[in-house]
Amino acid sequence: MSDVELAIAADQISERVWLYVHYDCNLSCAYCLSGSTPMSKRRQLSSARLLELADEAKSLGFKALGVTGGEPFLRRWMVDTLVEMAARLPVLVLTNGTLFAGKRLAAMAPLASAAVTVQMSLDRLDPGANDDLRAKGNHAAVVQAITALIELGIRVRVASTLDDLAEDLAFLAFVRGLGVAEEDHILRPIVRRGRAVDTDMGVRATLSDFRPELTISADGAFWGPFGPTVRDERVDTDLLLCRSTRPLAVPAGRLIALARGLPSGHDTTLGIR
């Protein structure tokens, strides 16, 4: 077994490599980790680079890929690239879910026959409370996108940031009713990084609170997907492993070395696994 496979088997690191495609987005959500807006600097990983990273991740022994942004589906080549990536390893792609209508929705069809799961954020049962965090009309757009993608045969996950148990229970029932399986509804706290610092939201967290998940962006390699957060167009470096991402074995080795010094289960205290 490779060093990566051994570390995964020992539950020292995640089996998934996360890839930040870019940082621009059509929304400006209140707690966005990457501080994304329509005006954000792109900081893009190209389609060719994503496929190169997918090949390297597989050869090292990783078992899955994650794709996030920014809004990945702003790039017209994203669906074709995801299909190619999924031929290497299963892919989880994060999206705000607001672009899937008309031709863009039809273009998603190839994902139904690929090992790709689409994860969307829906934060509150009440549309107004949800839209206050994300954008006007977001709740309706995401609910429509969830049902439309499921009808296409695409696996959908939903991520929610809730802090009220009574609302949690009602919300769980609502999301189940949309056709999302229980295991595909993720409840997690808002983490005070990125724009959440400016809006005074979420829980404070440090390296030991996050699961070690190798994360690659145009700015380097990070401890996890909560690492390459942005404020005022500056990338936070407190969770930076190294600037170099070529070859991928270099940051993977650094992640493993750091992770081996942490106690088992360290990352479950905030419920963000």
pLDDT of amino acid 273: 41
Instruction: Please classify residue 91 by burial: count the beta carbons closer than 10 Å to its beta carbon, then call 0-12 exposed, 13-18 middle and 19+ buried.
Output: buried
166-198 exposure pattern, b = at least 16 Cβ within 10 A, e = fewer: ebeeebbeebeebebeeebbeeeebbbbbbbbe
pLDDT of amino acid 265: 55
Tens place of pLDDT per residue across the chain (273 aa): 999 999 999 999 999 999 999 999 999 999 998 989 999 999 999 999 999 999 999 999 999 999 999 999 999 999 999 999 999 999 999 999 999 999 999 999 999 999 999 999 999 999 999 999 999 999 999 999 999 999 999 999 999 987 665 567 888 999 999 999 999 999 888 999 989 999 999 889 888 899 999 999 999 999 999 999 888 888 999 999 999 999 999 999 999 999 997 766 555 445 454
- Taking a C-beta distance cutoff of 8 angstroms, is the pair 123, 175 a contact? no
pLDDT of amino acid 32: 92
Please tell me what DSSP assigns to residue 243: S
pLDDT of amino acid 162: 72
